[in-house]
Amino acid sequence: MIGRPSLSLEQAPQGLFLLWLAFMGLLVFGAAVMWQHGLWHRLVQADPTGLTIVIVLLFIGCSVWAGLRCWALGLQWQALQSGGARVSPEHISWAHDYLQARAHPHTDKSILLQVLSDRAHGPQEMAWWLNGIQLKLGLLGKVIGFSVLALELGRMDGFDPQQSAQMLKSLTGGLGIALLTTITGLAANILLGLQLMRIDRFADGLVAEILTLGEAQAMQSNVTGSAA
């Protein structure tokens, strides 16, 4: 059916959340392998600005939020499969509210659609903005790293073989900041973008299914009214 989530797993109860858990499992496994090889320690030591840690912490926070959002959308999908019934008193069913408001004869359907779309996609806007911030922090680290590199080059009055080791260490320090922060920002941007893309796709399918259910109930009411 058009509008359904594109992956069969997502159509199962809390399927989107399970997919997110599987993705997080792969990331945690990769992080554990990096920890065993001492890469995290080297990453922290090579970036005195701390931007790499900020990007990683921002990614973790946004990923946890993405998991909570997957769970919330899964509850709405379960409510939709129940015909728009409320999942629980604590969780409002978007389908229930939409169908109830649509039943009124003087309701503006365009406003209902806008409200439904805001509920489904509004919270993701801040997450997408933070995803862009990760990339910008990586670029900021690149600028800082190359600035440090330029300052060190500016201090070189001449080549002294006795100070070559210290000179190379200073130059590679700035280059390391530039490369590590850029790579970390790009990787975090891509990985979080994958999560948000699946959430948006699932939300699109959820909205489409709610609209389809509303049209079906409206047609059924018209047929019943004509028969009466």
φ/ψ of 91, rounded to 5, equals -115, 120
Stretch 72-96: mean pLDDT, rounded? Answer: 75
Residue 80 pLDDT class (50, 70, 90 cuts): confident
Q: Which of 78, 109, 110, 71 is nearest to 94 (CA)?
A: 78
pLDDT value of residue 129:
96
Per-residue pLDDT of 17-71, as tens digits, reads 999 999 999 999 999 999 999 888 888 888 888 899 999 999 999 999 999 999 9
Please, which residues have CB within 8 angstroms of residue 119's CB and are 6 or more apart in sequence? 94
Which three-class secondary structure state does DSSP give residue 91? strand
